[in-house]
Amino acid sequence: MNIGLLGFGTVGTGVYEIINKRKDFFRSLIGKDLNINKVLVKDTTKDRNINISKDKLIDNPYFILDDPNIDIVIEAIGGTAEAYAYIKHALTTGKHVITANKAVVAKHMKELMDLANKNKKAFLYEASVGGGVPIIKPLKQQVTLNDIEEIKSILNGTSNFILSKMIREDLEFTDALHIAQELGYAEADPTDDIEGYDVRRKLAILSTIAFKREVKEEYIHCRGIRTIKSVDTKVIKELGYTVKLLAKASFKSNKYYLSVEPSLLPDDSFYAKVENANNLISIIGNDIGELKFYGQGAGKFPTANAVVSDVLDILYNNYQNYGIDEGTYKLCNNTDLVKDRYYVRLSPKHTLSDYVLKVVKEEKIADKIIKTGDHIIFTTGNIELKKINSFINNVKESIKDEFYAAIQ
Amino acid sequence: MNIGLLGFGTVGTGVYEIINKRKDFFRSLIGKDLNINKVLVKDTTKDRNINISKDKLIDNPYFILDDPNIDIVIEAIGGTAEAYAYIKHALTTGKHVITANKAVVAKHMKELMDLANKNKKAFLYEASVGGGVPIIKPLKQQVTLNDIEEIKSILNGTSNFILSKMIREDLEFTDALHIAQELGYAEADPTDDIEGYDVRRKLAILSTIAFKREVKEEYIHCRGIRTIKSVDTKVIKELGYTVKLLAKASFKSNKYYLSVEPSLLPDDSFYAKVENANNLISIIGNDIGELKFYGQGAGKFPTANAVVSDVLDILYNNYQNYGIDEGTYKLCNNTDLVKDRYYVRLSPKHTLSDYVLKVVKEEKIADKIIKTGDHIIFTTGNIELKKINSFINNVKESIKDEFYAAIQ
């Protein structure tokens, strides 16, 4: 069994180190050494702080993808276009493929699984959702015996770090973001994390498995956390809640509800205890009830551990490729199905405070007004997401900004 | 693929119903029907509220155990001696065996696994720990790539229900126990649950897998919850804690620490949120970090779901039997290794309160005395379990009863 490793960054080196560390175990399992024969890097001459012979390092991916001696390709370069092309090439030439690349999996899951199934090879992606938390495989297993009714998850370390920091230290969003960037929790361009796009990819993957339909990212209603202010977190705390970027999916009467949005969770809930880069994934099945999975959603060794667990499944010949139903995915009107209570802050433009408050009262949208003046803060009764969205849209011209979040 | 089902109680009927409900799935998986051919019951003539043809019901287990057409035996009769004999017989005659019987697994795990390995059959027991929570298989998977350093779990619904009830409603132990019995959470003889024996069996199973050594029940230090009083739960709440019966195992410098004992958990911890019959299992691996698994630790369909997931693993040919290391299990002096702070209540015999308080002060065991008089309540600094045990033993003659719990 020979492995070709595409990429030698954090995850790639982690995979290399774990496989080396467990050398004896793999030898006893397959009767010979498990080799990482070739590693794709950008610069083969660069000095690396890792014990690897330089002749393993290559800078042409096709030395791996077209090498008949390579059985398993591990894609750890990230990005989308190239990673997708390499994965497809590897599966086409009859190799097993493992990836941690959620963007590629979310976008091309069905096509790549079909290709793997056709060639009777594995296409595995345990590390693409939840980092070190084993969730893809347990979910595939539960799906065979359960109708999955609901998924509710915290899946993004960056936004969770920022929100934890804001809540604990009464910081403004931009300050918390800067700290996250300094500590390496957020990238220079944090868009994917704070706008919810990263979570949306992960929810697309989980929902596709859970509901046995191809759930595309664009089916998922997505709102990020960029407009939250310390005035929000203060009120949220006073109300006995915390705030999280929550991924939610439910399937009822053949209709789907899929959303990523800021959500208020009671202070004494499991969700409220999930700090920093940890992830929590809850699934509800009709027979099994609620299961929760918790662990490190990112980090070198947790993520690499998930990748190597996929290697193990290939060695054990234990990789039933989950086949997505051929039935067309029925796109529901997302915002029709589920009603939530909402926390809403509207910050009116100069001199418009009285006017905005009047609209709030006339529209009868608030069930409790908490604050008026520069920031009008209220909670609603149970209301459809499309109604709250359309209300916000109607007052948009009169306000500087707003923040709203579903109350769970 | 034919199944023989031993026992048709809660779990047995659950298994029968789930397999029937998923008939189409199993047919598409194995290309023919998955049949439960025979079911062992005590009374074949009894009317049952379930759709099964009477000729499937038998009252002689050997009609299943010696039937060459039966491939998989599911043991769901409970008890120990008979269940053990049937499982052994089935494995010896080359059948796969699935059981939810923690008592048998805890006691005979190594022997039964060796037997299964010898005959290249499966011996699976996912439902024996954590009910519906998938933990046995995920733990086996993590163990291959991680050195497991710690297990910390809530594994018993009965004791957890009683403690939750006492904390929430300021009840005395016996009153909470009666309510548990009336609601079916506790059996007429609740000894196994409230003395921690049930948890000890589950911890023996988890530790055997996690540490790759045969961990016997008798190696595990075990104290139950019978002596807890409402005076304890009141003080515990004031201190910002809740109380749980906690199973703990750790492995450091080739030494083991294994205990089941009442433990104080901070009000804002995950553990404190585990109510009633739910279970929480936390494991820490050297690479993966901490993983937590949560779900229903009992109940007909969750438990049956776990049993049927074992059936699936057999159908998928996906049942690597975990081989326990041949090395002798090194019994550590359990109480040597780990130090905890303790919460201690001593209730002195009539007129001995001053004397007991004097001993507490002389022995310098308390770092903070919370209450004196009829109940002397104090917390300790970090102290070895054997020291606290021996202190309690020394004052035994002077007290009516006592309750003590590790502060986590």
Question: What tens digit of pLDDT does each residue of A18-74 get?
Answer: 999 999 999 988 899 999 999 999 999 998 889 899 999 999 999 999 999 999 999
What's the CA gap between B408 and B401, in Å, rounded? Answer: 23
What's the CA gap between A128 and A141, in Å, rounded? Answer: 17
| B153 in contact with chain A, both atoms CB, cutoff 8 A | no
Tokens read off for B407? 């502060």
Among A133, A138, A268, the residue with its CB nearest the CB of B273 is A268
Q: A270: which chain B residues are within 8 Å (Cβ-Cβ)?
A: 270, 273, 294
Burial B288-306, CB ≥16 within 10 A → b, else e: bbbbbbbbbbbbbbbbbbb
Closest to A345 (Cα-Cα) out of A355, A335, A357 = A357
Tokens read off for B220? 């595990």
Report, as an integer, the average pLDDT of B401-407. 97
B111-121 pLDDT, tens digit each: 999 999 999 99
Burial A49-61, CB ≥16 within 10 A → b, else e: eeebeeebbbeeb
Q: How far is B210 from chain A (nearest CA, A)?
A: 15
Provide the 3-class DSSP secondary structure of residue A15: helix
| A312 in contact with chain B, both atoms CB, cutoff 8 A | yes
Average pLDDT taken over every residue of chain B:
93
pLDDT number for residue B283 = 98
Average pLDDT taken over every residue of chain A:
93
Kindly indicate the confidence band of residue A325, based on its pLDDT and cuts at 50, 70 and 90. low
For A140, the closest chain B residue by CA position comes to B309
Residue B142 one-letter amino acid? Q
Q: How far is A375 from chain B (nearest CA, A)?
A: 31
Report, as an integer, the average pLDDT of A241-246. 98
| B164 in contact with chain A, both atoms CB, cutoff 8 A | no
For A131, the closest chain B residue by CA position comes to B288
Closest to B162 (Cα-Cα) out of B299, B267, B277 = B277
Residue A332 has pLDDT above 60, yes or no: no
Pick among B20, B139, B292 to test the A interface (most A CBs inside 10 A): B292
pLDDT number for residue A277 = 87
3-state secondary structure B15-62: HHHHHHHCHHHHHHHHCCCCEEEEEECCCCCCCCCCCCCHHHEECCCH
Cβ contact, residue pair A292, B292, below 8 Å: yes
Among B25, B145, B289, the residue with its CB nearest the CB of A295 is B289
Q: How far is B134 from chain A (nearest CA, A)?
A: 8
Q: B302: which chain A residues are within 8 Å (Cβ-Cβ)?
A: 287-289
What's the CA gap between B341 and A294, in Å, rounded? Answer: 27
ipTM (interface pTM): 0.93
Compute the count of residue pairs across chains A and B with CB atoms less than 8 Å apart: 119
- Evaluated on CA atoms A293, A295, A298, A303, the torsion sign reads negative
A137-190 pLDDT, tens digit each: 999 999 989 999 999 999 999 999 999 999 999 999 999 999 999 998 899 999
Q: B142: which chain A residues are within 8 Å (Cβ-Cβ)?
A: 134, 309
Name the least confident of A81-95, A209-223, B183-197. Answer: A209-223
Residue B181 has pLDDT above 70, yes or no: yes
Residue B179 has pLDDT above 70, yes or no: yes
pLDDT number for residue A327 = 56
Domains of chain A: 2-124 (3.40.50.720), 148-296 (3.30.360.10), 338-407 (3.30.70.1150)
Q: How far is A116 from chain B (nearest CA, A)?
A: 18
What's the CA gap between A285 and A298, in Å, rounded? Answer: 26
| A273 in contact with chain B, both atoms CB, cutoff 8 A | yes
For B274, the closest chain A residue by CA position comes to A270
Provide the 3-class DSSP secondary structure of residue B404: strand
Name the least confident of A141-155, A186-200, A250-264. Answer: A250-264
B7-18 pLDDT, tens digit each: 999 999 999 999
- Catalytic pick among B38, B107, B137, B202: B202
Query: Beta B241-252 vs B255-266: how paired, if at all?
Result: antiparallel
Q: Is B373 exposed, middle or buried (0-12, 13-18, 19+ CB in 10 A)?
A: exposed
Radius of gyration of chain A (CA): 23
Q: How far is A145 from chain B (nearest CA, A)?
A: 7
Tokens 């069905």 belong to residue: A110
Is A110 within 8 Å of A86 (Cβ atoms)?
no
Closest to B44 (Cα-Cα) out of B60, B28, B31 = B60
pLDDT number for residue A274 = 95
What's the CA gap between A402 and B15, in Å, rounded? Answer: 52
pLDDT number for residue B213 = 84
For A29, the closest chain B residue by CA position comes to B144
| A141 in contact with chain B, both atoms CB, cutoff 8 A | yes
Q: Is A231 exposed, middle or buried (0-12, 13-18, 19+ CB in 10 A)?
A: middle
Name the residues of A annotated as catalytic. Answer: 202
Is B258 within 8 Å of B220 (Cβ atoms)?
yes
Alpha-carbon distances, residue B361 vs A218, B355, B357 (angstroms): 68, 10, 6
